[in-house]
Structures are given as C-alpha cells and as structure tokens.
Amino acid sequence: MFESGPFVAEHVSETDDEQVQPNGVDLTLEAVYEQREPGRIGRETKEVGERQQLETEQVADDAPETYYLTSGGYVVQYAETVEIPENHVGYVYPRSSLLRNSCMLNTAVWDAGYEGKGEGLLEVHHDIEIETGARIAQLVLAEADHDGTYAGSYQGENVGLDEF
Ligand SMILES: O=c1ccn([C@H]2C[C@H](O)[C@@H](COP(=O)(O)OP(=O)(O)OP(=O)(O)O)O2)c(=O)[nH]1
C-alpha cells in the first residue's frame, strides 16, 4: 500500500504546504551538475565521476536564480532531506510538467533507512529554464518488507552526514 502525502511529509524536511500532495511530497531543485570525468561501475566497487556545479542566471526580475539548460544529461540534487522509514521503500517520479517540456527525470529505488539529499538524472531534450526551489519531482512511499536497512556509501549524502 502507498502512504498518504501527509505521512510522506513526516519524513521529508523542510517542506511547505504547497509541496504536500495527496499521495506524496514534491521535491525541489537545489543544484544542477554536469559530469566532467568518467565514472566507473565495477563488480565490487563504483566511483562517481567528477562533476561541476553549474551557475544560475537571472532570467527575469522575479527569477534571479534559474538554470538555463540546453540539451543533454544533468545530475540534479534535491533540496529536501529525505529519510526512508523502516518497512517502506521510496520511489521518485518526475513532475509531469517536465515531461510536457521534453525533459525526463530518471530515478532509482530509495531504500529503507536511507537519509540524505538525493540526486537524479535530468534528461533535457529541449532547452528549459528551471528555477532553484522549483518543484521537479514527487516522492512516494510504499509499505515494503526488507532485509536490513540502507548502509551504502550515499548514506547522509549532501547533508554533512557522510561520516555516518
Ligand atoms: O533516484 C534515486 C534513487 C536513490 N537515491 C538514493 C536513495 C538510495 O537508498 C541511495 C542508494 O541508491 P542505490 O542503492 O541504487 O545505490 P548504489 O549505486 O547501489 O550504491 P550503494 O551500493 O552504495 O548503495 O541513493 C537517490 O538519491 N536517487
């Protein structure tokens, strides 16, 4: 069973009322990165290639911190700290307005016990402007059995908990 938006909101910080949806919570954009060096996926280990944070620009008087993105693939970081509670699994879906603008947000499984500001892969098929703080995705939580909790290398990512 999927949980309600208000339940999901108890596990996401900081959120405002506008982010709480019937079935989940919207995640907003904090930063956009462009990968510069190759990563590596091995049998036992993996490495994330070096990336560079892009600069925002002022595209309008009321939009001072906006990313202007041309076609390509970008790593996006969400602004909210997410904590996936025990007995649950998380899924993040793109906001449909991205799809309607020829963009796609690719996401993977969010494990029980994970905590951090996660990342996704934004595919841009047509130039788009995205303001920092804009809602780009929605997190939903489903009840799930699990064997152990998340203890991988991304635990505490982007929130200064990396030593955990
Ligand atoms: O789209 C996603 C999906 C997951 N995560 C977070 C939550 C998840 O629990 C964690 C690790 O994801 P995964 O298990 O897929 O990573 P991995 O590549 O297998 O690395 P590790 O073995 O270190 O966990 O990353 C994201 O930030 N974005």
Residue 149 φ/ψ, nearest 5 degrees = -125, 170
Asked if residue 150 has its Cβ within 6 Å of ligand 1, the reply is yes
Can you name the residues that pair with 75 across neighbouring β-strands? 33, 121
pLDDT in tens, 132-143: 999 999 999 999
* 28-80 pLDDT tens trace: 999 999 999 999 999 999 999 999 999 999 988 888 899 999 999 999 999 99
Choose which residue among 47, 111, 122 to substitute to test ligand 1 binding: the one with the highest number of ligand atoms within 8 A of its C-beta.
111
pLDDT at 59: 87
Instruction: Find out whether the beta carbon of 73 lies less than 6 Å from any atom of ligand 1.
Output: no
Residue of the nearest CA to atom 11 in ligand 1?
Answer: 154
CA 61 to ligand 1 centroid distance, Å: 37
Prior bond of 34 cis (ω within 30°): no
CA-proximal residue: ligand 1, atom 21 (nearest): 152
Q: What is the mean pLDDT of the chain?
A: 95
Ligand 1 centroid to Cα of residue 140, in Å, is: 16
Q: For ligand 1, atom 18, which residue shows the shortest CA distance?
A: 46
Whether the CB-CB separation of 132 and 56 falls below 8 Å is answered with yes
- The answer, yes or no, to whether residue 162 has pLDDT greater than 80, is no
- Which two structure tokens, joined as six digits, stand for 86? 């025990």
pLDDT at 161 (0 to 100):
54
Show the 3-state SS of the chain.
CECCHHHHHCCEECCCHHHECCCCEEEEEEEEEEECCCCEECCCCEECCCEEECCCECCECCECCEEEECCEEEEEEECCEEECCCCEEEEEEECHHHHCCCEEEECCCECCCCEECCEEEEEECCCEEEECCCEEEEEEEEECCCCCCCCCCCCCCCCCCCCC
Q: Give CA–CA dist 60/51, Å, rounded.
A: 27
Q: Please tell me the distance from the alpha carbon of residue 8 to that of residue 141, in angstroms, as a whole number.
A: 6
| pTM flag (> 0.90) | yes
**What whole-number percentage of the chain has pLDDT above 70?**
97
Assess: ipTM above 0.90: yes
pLDDT confidence of 146, banded at 50, 70, 90?
very high
| Tokens, residue 140 | 């939903």
**Number of the ligand 1 atom closest to the C-alpha atom of 114:** 9
Ligand 1 contacts CB of residue 15 (under 6 A): no
Q: Rounded distance, CA 119 to CA 123, Å?
A: 13
Does ligand 1 lie within 6 Å of residue 115's CB atom?
no
